[in-house]
Amino acid sequence: MKIKKILILTTVVLFCLAARQDAVLRVKAIGKASPRIIQKSRARAAAYRAATIEAYKKMAAAAGFSQTYQSGNQKYIRVEAFITGARVVDKRYITDYEVEVTMEIPRAQLVQQVKKVKKSVYEKQISETQHEIKAVREQIQQLTLKLSELKKMLKELEVKANEES
């Protein structure tokens, strides 16, 4: 657990050092609409939405919010993040059903969001650990009471055994 925290903190620090005020993270993504959509305007809107979602996924992955896992013999990338402040700087319609979007976000802004998320994750882990410690302490207290009861019963049995002999 300590090694994991150190690696995450190192990643955040390196990410912070790389983030200058004028630097931006820029990603390109392609979105495709279903060919079953008949109206071209709806198809373009669906393709644009798909492209922006894909661009946000790429940004989140670049910020370190992605996890790779395997199901059977297929690998999947899972992204859990909520990134704000990114903007579309370019969009290019390849066809009515396909669009390429370029999005960017200032790295400093992204670093602040990463730090905020990592801090909340650490605070949650600390809280969970504190609850676990409290539960273990209560169990120890209960076991101590049981032990003292058992010792008392043992003394009583020793007294009875001495009286009988």
* pLDDT (0 to 100) of residue 11: 63
3-class DSSP string for the chain: CHHHHHHHHHHHHHHHHHCCCCCEEEEEEEEECCCCCCCHHHHHHHHHHHHHHHHHHHHHHHCCCEEEEEECCEEEEEECCCCCCCEEEEEEEEECCEEEEEEEEEHHHHHHHHHHHHHHHHHHHHHHHHHHHHHHHHHHHHHHHHHHHHHHHHHHHHHHHHHHC
Tens-binned pLDDT, residue by residue, of the chain (165 aa) = 555 555 555 565 566 555 555 688 888 999 999 889 889 889 999 999 999 999 988 888 887 777 777 778 887 777 777 788 888 999 999 988 999 999 998 888 887 888 887 888 788 889 999 999 999 999 999 999 999 999 999 998 888 888 887
* pLDDT (0 to 100) of residue 14: 60
* pLDDT (0 to 100) of residue 105: 86
